[in-house]
Amino acid sequence: MTTQAQDNGFCCADHSGAANVAAILAAAEARARATGARLTPVRRRVLEILLQAHGALGAYDVLEKLSAEGFGSQPPVAYRALNFLVDQGLAHRIRRLNAFTACAHPGQDHRAAFLICESCDSVTEADAGAVSAALDQAAKAAGFDLARATIEAVGQCSACREAAR
């Protein structure tokens, strides 16, 4: 199974478009230098792959591309790079899809929710500010000390709904 979103002409997230990819990559590089994190070739390339995917990619999808380009060909190569990007806030893990997607707003401290389209597999990162606040509230009511949360919605994106009409 591939988890790549189909590239069917319409774009889903803010990071679509080659120009934006370059800008985000540059910003990631600058931020890495600033924080001391090392955006190595594999890591940088994985981020680029995610940015170009317009959707979430499974670790093995990423690995396949890496392998074809002369990087390592074994799972840890992909998982390490992906986990690094997630730790750095440059990518997100989509648990429902066992997949990863580039962050649409890197650098900003943001709480994200993901809107997963069942028709086209696109994954859109939405601002979860209000959702997160409500969740904080619910956790507080339960006496739970919330560290982080996963918020994933499944349904149909606007483009697919239009197309289905």
Partner DNA sequence: TTATCTAACGTTATATCATAACAGTCAAGG
Partner DNA sequence: CCTTGACTGTTATGATATAACGTTAGATAA
Q: Which of 86, 134, 129, 132 is nearest to 106 (CA)?
A: 86
User: Does 113 engage in binding with its own copies (CB under 8 A)?
Assistant: yes
Angstrom distance (rounded) from CA 109 to CA 122: 23
Cβ nearer to DNA, comparing 77 with 113: 77
The tokens of 106 are what?
């890197």
Q: Which does 112 bind (CB under 5 to 8 A by kind): Zn ion, DNA, its own copies, none?
A: Zn ion
Cβ nearer to DNA, comparing 77 with 116: 77
Contacts of 82 (CB under 8 A, 6+ apart): 46, 59, 62, 91, 93, 100
Residues numbered 128-147 forming contacts with its own copies, rule: CB under 8 A? 128, 130-131, 133-135, 137-139, 141-147
Q: Which does 25 bind (CB under 5 to 8 A by kind): DNA, its own copies, Zn ion, none?
A: none
The tokens of 71 are what?
């990087």
99-101-107 Cα angle (round to 5): 140
Run of H or E including 138: helix 129-141
- Tell me which of 13, 24, 53, 81 binds DNA, using CB under 7 A: 81
Instruction: Give the CB-side neighbour count of residue 29, counting CA atoms within 13 A.
Output: 11
Q: Which does 120 bind (CB under 5 to 8 A by kind): its own copies, DNA, Zn ion, none?
A: Zn ion
- Tell me which of 117, 124, 128, 132 binds Zn ion, using CB under 5 A: 117
Cβ nearer to DNA, comparing 70 with 143: 70
Interface residue list for DNA (CB under 7 A): 1, 3, 37-38, 40-43, 58-60, 71-77, 79-81, 83-84, 98
